[in-house]
Amino acid sequence: MADDDRILSVRDLAVDFTGEAGVVHALRDVNFDLYRGRTLAIVGESGSGKSVAVQAVMGLLPKKARITRGHIYFRDPLRQNLVDITTLARNGDEMRDIRGGRIAMIFQEPMTSLSPLHTIGAQIAEAARIHRQADARQSRELAIDLLAKVGFQHPQHQVDAYPFELSGGMRQRAMIAMALMCQPAILIADEPTTALDVTTQANILSLMKGLQSQFEMGILLITHDLGVVANVADDVAVMYRGEIVERGDVDAIFRHPRHPYLKALMRCVPRVDGKPEDRLTPLRDAVPAEPRAEAKNACAYPGIKVLEVQNVSKTFFKRGGPFSAGLRVAALTKVSLSVECGETLGIVGESGSGKTTLSKIIMGAMKPDEGRVLYDGGSGARDIATLEGAELTAYRRAVQFVFQDPFSSLNPRMTVHDILSEPLTVHGVGDAVSRDKRVLELCSLVGIDRRALSRYPHSFSGGQRQRIGIARALALEPSVLLCDEPTSALDVSVQAQILNLLKDLQKELGLSLLFVSHNLAVIHYLAKDVAVMCRGHVVEQGPSADIFASPRHPYTKALLAAVPSADLDHPLDFDKIAGEGVSQPSSWPMPFTIKGEGPRPDMVEASPGHFVRIAGGAKGVAELVS
């Protein structure tokens, strides 16, 4: 790599934060280089300093932060000038010209980064007016052209869409289009695919690689996903507690890791080819406040179906305008599945596949149009729609929910003690003394220090907040936990802690788990059985080991092919994954296709316990077996 291709050089950078607790050294002696046409991935846990380094490069450090030492040299290949960003006023004209013009950024969550009050076209065009002095007509044409470049099917119409009308993947594409408006020399991508489905993630990564080649950009990728790094990065810098502890090209980093932190980080990652007896090795295990008791509440009814969903359908009606008819959207179509006592059923699928709708129906928060949900607490299966009074209250105690985002699901004005004791108070369980004792038991179960009971949610890390959410769900001693993407926004090291915790709790308490996720590696690690959902249908279902070893349905195969592996010898095939036809039931080959309102395909047993949705009767079965 020639020095002429170096477009960003960070040298001996140190950043301090000053607060009520004193001075915090957020960055210490950070050094890295970014080259034109190459991708540098900065890897590390939350709090390692990744975002602070990026904020320093963009001139967006908060007021409490200051650069105490070092330099950030930006060499603009278009203007052939060298600028030290640390010497520029953060709100000065020169810095504003660089920020957004020559160095652009896409953020982790596009929904919160895009204005909900303006169309995506207006937001993309704004960059053209500010940095390219284009008029309204020119900026709109540029916005349409960029939307086409990033994969919008109908850019002339979608340019007038609002963010809420787009899927997560399309919103992220709009963010990329906005960042590319000025053809920047550097594109900074801060966790751009964290909350996306594996297929959408693969398409976004493929798009970024293609645009990088087209515009010869340098990409600075901030991520904690080592699978993503292995598939798109040329160079890697590993950060830990404000320092870069290891750096080099991607081949050297993955094949010959040297630093203990990097080796430990790699052991945290669940793999789709792992064994059932494997256990993740988190960087650090939370120490319980008290030693755990022996298994005392193992599943009392092994072999029975504690939850059973039978032919559940749900349709939503989208109201039309004054001159258009409404639209009926089938969220679920004849969905059937079951959870055995003490076991885990994993539900996988892209956004819009019906996973969350199904969870709401099981919880009783929504009624199905057809079908029923049966619950068996040991006294026989009952349709939850028929439960009333004390029976309904008992069901609500028995089936508890663990949410995706622990911060938004915890009341910021309640202490941990209040959060954990609230379910007991609402259901009238025990007196104040017994509730306090139960709260301490919950802390011990999930590894929360009892000294933290007087603290509020904002003072905990993401992993600790998720432990609080799990403890709250366990407060009423449920028999079933519904986990809706509980680890999707967590670092791999924290994710390993939570997954190990759920496994331990299941063994210890005899819990049955319904685990919803788009991360197939997580499902493979936790679940005994798997149901694959697409567009409201269960398209494949069976033992986890069987489905991951020999998937039969094209949609399941596509999901597995899109999982980024932290293995350089098994890269993603971006050309194979490109496009979104794989999630269109009408595009599947026979005997899997689902078209119009005609006869629906049935679930057929392809091997013992392994079912696949196919059409074509005996002919379809013969094709499947062959």
Q: Do 13 and 66 meet the contact criterion of CB atoms below 8 Å apart? A: no
d(CA 231, CA 219) in angstroms, rounded, equals 14
Closest CA to 609 of 350, 311, 333, 337: 337
- pLDDT of 171 > 80? The answer is yes
Identical fold for domains 36-61+91-267 and 305-550, yes or no, is: yes
Closest CA to 110 of 58, 177, 159: 177
What pLDDT does 623 receive? 58
Does the domain spanning 36-61+91-267 belong to CATH 3.40.50.300?
yes
Phi, psi of 441 (to 5 degrees): -65, -40
Question: Which overall architecture, per CATH, does domain 305-550 show?
Answer: 3-Layer(aba) Sandwich (3.40)
d(CA 288, CA 291) in angstroms, rounded, equals 7
Q: Do 501 and 464 meet the contact criterion of CB atoms below 8 Å apart? A: no
Q: Do 474 and 506 meet the contact criterion of CB atoms below 8 Å apart? A: no
Q: Convert the pLDDT of each residue in 504-513 to its tens digit.
A: 888 888 899 9
Q: Convert the pLDDT of each residue in 450-501 to its tens digit.
A: 888 999 998 887 778 888 999 999 999 999 999 988 887 677 877 888 888 8
Peptide bond into 591 cis (omega under 30): yes
Give me the residue label for tokens 């001139």: 59
Listed by start position, the domains of the chain span 36-61+91-267, 305-550
d(CA 393, CA 384) in angstroms, rounded, equals 11
Which range is most confident: 129-133, 142-146, 223-227? 142-146
What pLDDT does 297 receive? 46
399-402 and 480-484: which strand pairing? parallel
d(CA 434, CA 436) in angstroms, rounded, equals 5
List the beta bridge partners of residue 480.
Answer: 399, 512
DSSP letter string, 87-135: GS-TTSHHHHHHBTTTEEEE-S-HHHHS-TTS-HHHHHHHHHHHHS---
For the chain, the C-alpha Rg in angstroms (whole number) is 26
How far, rounded to the nearest angstrom, does the alpha carbon of residue 493 sit from its chain's CA centroid?
14
d(CA 66, CA 50) in angstroms, rounded, equals 16
DSSP E strand stretches across 149-223: 186-190, 218-223
Closest CA to 358 of 349, 182, 466: 349
d(CA 102, CA 108) in angstroms, rounded, equals 20
- Under 8 Å CB-to-CB from 483, ≥6 apart: which residues? 402, 502, 513, 514, 515, 516, 517
Name the least confident of 150-154, 537-541, 620-624: 620-624
What average pLDDT score do residues 225-246 get?
Answer: 93
What pLDDT does 624 receive? 58
- Amino acid identity for residue 80 in this structure: Q
Q: Convert the pLDDT of each residue in 346-398 to its tens digit.
A: 999 887 788 889 999 999 989 999 999 999 988 889 999 999 999 999 999 99
**Side-chain half-sphere CA neighbours of 65 within 13 A:** 19
Edge-to-edge strands of the sheet including 235-240?
Answer: 103-106, 186-190, 218-223, 39-43, 235-240, 243-249
Q: Pick the residue with more confidence: 8 or 45?
A: 8
39-43 and 65-76: which strand pairing? unpaired
Name the least confident of 177-181, 295-299, 418-422: 295-299
Q: Pick the residue with more confidence: 404 or 578?
A: 404
Q: Do 269 and 521 meet the contact criterion of CB atoms below 8 Å apart? A: yes
SS3 letters across 521-577:
HHHHHHCCEEEEEECCEEEEEEEHHHHHHCCCCHHHHHHHHCCCCCCCCCCCCHHHH
Kindly state the helix (H) or strand (E) to which residue 207 belongs, with its residue range: helix 198-215
What pLDDT does 531 receive? 95
pLDDT over 70 percentage in the chain:
89
d(CA 508, CA 444) in angstroms, rounded, equals 13
d(CA 177, CA 276) in angstroms, rounded, equals 42
Q: Convert the pLDDT of each residue in 54-72 to its tens digit.
A: 999 999 898 889 999 999 9
Q: Convert the pLDDT of each residue in 174-206 to its tens digit.
A: 888 888 888 889 999 988 877 677 877 888 888
